[in-house]
Amino acid sequence: MKVAFISRATLYSTPGGDTKQLDLTAHYLRETGVEVDIYLTNQPIDYSKYDLLHFFNIIRPADIIGHIELSGKPYVVSTIFLDYGEFEKQTRGGLMKWMNKIFSEDQIEYIKAIARWLKNGEKIGSVNYLLWGHRKSVKWVAKHAGILLPNSENEYRRLAKKYNIEHAYRVVPNGIDASVAHRVSKKNPKYENAILCVARIEGRKNQLNLIRALNNTQFKVFIHGKPSPNNIAYYEQCKAEAAENIHFSTWLSEEELYEMYYSAKVHILPSYFETTGLSSLEAAVMGCNIVVTDKGDTKDYFENDAWFCDPDDLASIRSAVEAAYNAPYNPDFRKKILENYTWERAAEETLAAYKQVLKL
Question: What confidence score (pLDDT) does residue 98 get?
Answer: 62
Determine if residue 33 is left, alpha or beta; phi over 0 gives left, psi from -120 to 50 gives alpha, anything else beta. Answer: left
Angle at alpha carbon of residue 9, lines to 3 and 11, rounded to 5° = 75
CATH ID of 2-84+134-175+342-358, from 3.40.50.2000, 3.20.20.70, 3.20.130.10, 3.10.310.30: 3.40.50.2000
Is the separation of the CB atoms in 145 and 73 below 8 Å? Answer: no
What is the dihedral angle through the alpha carbons of 14, 160, 308, 186, rounded to the nearest 10 degrees? -40
| pLDDT-based confidence at residue 194 (cuts at 50, 70, 90) | very high
Mean pLDDT for the stretch of residues 84-98: 61
Report the 10 Å Cβ neighbour count for 303: 10
Could you tell me the pLDDT band of residue 84, with boundaries at 50, 70 and 90?
low
pLDDT at 276: 85
pLDDT at residue 329, rounded to an integer:
96
pTM score, two decimals?
A: 0.88
**CATH entry 3.40.50.2000 includes domain 178-340:** yes
134: left (phi over 0), alpha (psi -120 to 50) or beta: alpha
As a whole number, mean pLDDT of residues 325-341 equals: 95
Intervals of CATH 3.40.50.2000 along the chain: 2-84+134-175+342-358, 178-340
Residue 116 confidence (pLDDT)? 86
Q: What is the pLDDT of residues 256-296, one digit of tens each?
A: 898 999 999 999 999 999 988 889 999 999 999 999 999 98
3-state secondary structure 245-287: CEEEECCCCHHHHHHHHHHCCEEEECCCCECCCHHHHHHHHCC
The tens digit of pLDDT for each residue in 38-80 reads 999 999 999 999 999 999 999 999 999 999 999 999 999 999 9
Which of 8, 27, 73 shows the shortest CA–CA distance to 46? 73
DSSP state of 63: G
